[in-house]
Amino acid sequence: MRHRPRIALIATGGTIAGTAAAATDITGYTAGSLDATQLLAAVPQLGEQADIRAEQAFNLDSKDIAPGHWLRLAHRVQTLRDDPTIDGIVITHGTDTLEETAWFLHLVLHGDKPVVMTAAMRPATALSADGPMNLWEAVQVACCPAFHGPGVLIAVGGEVFDAADFAKCHTIRPAAFCAPLGGPLGLASPPVRLRGGPMAPAAVLARGALEHIDTLPWVEVLHIGAGADPRLLDLLREAGVAGVVLALPGNGSLPDAWLPAVARAADAAVRLVRASRVLHGPVTARAQPGPLTAAGFRSALQARIVLMLALATGDDGLLATCAPAPG
């Protein structure tokens, strides 16, 4: 008889582990108040679904998660993915930076075992808290053969997304997530796959390369509004930034006033990426001064992580993950 799936649960904090003084308080809570054991205790039905081994990676509000936490988490998840006694991994996380952690893991992890992230918009103490059901559904997705394969998935609000096409699109409502490029991969309960694989390659980092990365280079995103001052880029260049993603208007349209600052940054070997501040649509290739890489279908946040990895490894080929759409 086939054994029940063995799922490793990694808790990292977030609203799903948050508590508030009143059950009606869905904004004034403390994230990361509960640990992995307490999250499991809230969903005893999980024991009927799988054998679960829980651990706590860290316990943070996801607004405080930094690239160093991505690296720690990636090392641990890769170890579990390589463990023959584990069938899948579920990660609980805060929603604020969920899309960034998921995308980083998507790019660096190798293997076919499911890695499913989940989260909540309401703390565990709230009326109609969404965390317990999201956790239940994430484990179901991790146990479902239809969702096995490379890459990282997110199961929230009854839907399953891939990390290449996922964003938080609302600040407070429970249905806060979207897939700007192609829609969700499927449904979470019962788990049903509705369309094919991820919109971007997974595991673009060579196997073993992660072991040689201790820190990630300093890369920032500049959101360019009408009349934004190009001295912002000069200040970053002078401070020693390694790369900058410009979240520009429209189709990555660089204002003329920014041309001299971009040229100075390029002369100082600051790597630059043209992204868009618009939620939907690609940034197409076009002639620009200096080595301005088009973000293609990648958001500014995604392009930042790709650029970090390219700079950390010295592999410019990773920037192909920001494949530009034809101009």
The C-alpha atoms of residue 252 and residue 196 are separated, in whole angstroms, by 29
Q: Which residue has the tokens 């584990």?
A: 86
CA angle 237, 240, 241 (to 5 degrees): 70
Q: How many residues does the chain have?
A: 327
Structural contact between residues 155 and 131, judged by C-beta atoms closer than 8 angstroms: no
Residue 18 CB neighbour total at 10 angstroms: 24
C-alpha 190: how far from chain center: 24
67, 107, 255, 275 from 250: Cα distances, Å: 28, 27, 11, 9
Catalytic, 293? Answer no
The C-alpha atoms of residue 117 and residue 229 are separated, in whole angstroms, by 38
CA angle 12, 18, 19 (to 5 degrees): 155
**Among 152, 138, 131, which Cα is nearest to 52's?**
138
The C-alpha atoms of residue 292 and residue 252 are separated, in whole angstroms, by 10
Handedness of CA 15, 19, 24, 28 (dihedral sign): negative
DSSP state, 17?
Answer: G
3-state secondary structure of 113: coil
Cite the active site residues. Answer: 15
